[in-house]
Amino acid sequence: MATLGVIGTGLIGGSIGLAARSRGWTVLGHDADASAATLALSAGALDEIAERDAIYRGCAIIAIAAPVQATLDEVRALSGRALGSEQLVLDTASVKGAIALAGAGVSAFVPTHPMAGSERSGAVAARADLFSERTWCVVPTADDERTRRACAFVAQIGARPLTISAEEHDRTVALTSHLPQLFAFAFARRVAERSSRGEEIEALCGPAGKELLRLGRSSPALWEEIFRANAPALGAELDWMYRELFEGPRSKH
Domains in the chain: boundaries: 3-164, 168-252
- Does the pLDDT value for residue 51 go beyond 60? yes
- Say what the pTM is: 0.92
**CA 193 to chain CA centroid, nearest Å:** 30
Question: Each residue of 7-45: pLDDT tens digit?
Answer: 999 999 999 999 999 999 999 999 999 999 999 999 999
Please determine, looking at this structure, whether the domain spanning 3-164 carries the CATH number 3.40.50.720.
yes
User: Please, which residues have CB within 8 angstroms of residue 6's CB and are 6 or more apart in sequence?
Assistant: 13, 14, 16, 17, 27, 28, 29, 30, 40, 45, 46, 55, 62, 63, 65
253, pLDDT greater than 60 = no
Residue ranges of alpha helices (H) inside the chain are: 11-21, 34-42, 52-58, 68-78, 97-102, 144-156, 166-173, 179-195, 207-216, 220-229, 231-246
What span, in angstroms and rounded, lies between the C-alpha atoms of 33 and 49? 12
pLDDT per residue as tens digits for the range 80-123 = 898 998 999 999 999 999 999 999 989 999 999 999 988 888 99
How far is CA 116 from each of CA 46, 113, 199, rounded to the nearest angstrom?
A: 20, 9, 34
Among the four given CATH numbers 3.40.50.300, 3.30.70.100, 1.10.3660.10, 3.90.105.10, the one describing domain 168-252:
1.10.3660.10
Report CA-CA distances (Å) from 233 to 32, 155, 174, 178, 226. 30, 29, 6, 10, 11
Q: What is the mean pLDDT of the chain?
A: 95
| Band (130; pLDDT cuts 50, 70, 90) | very high
Q: Identity (one letter) of the amino acid at 162?
A: L
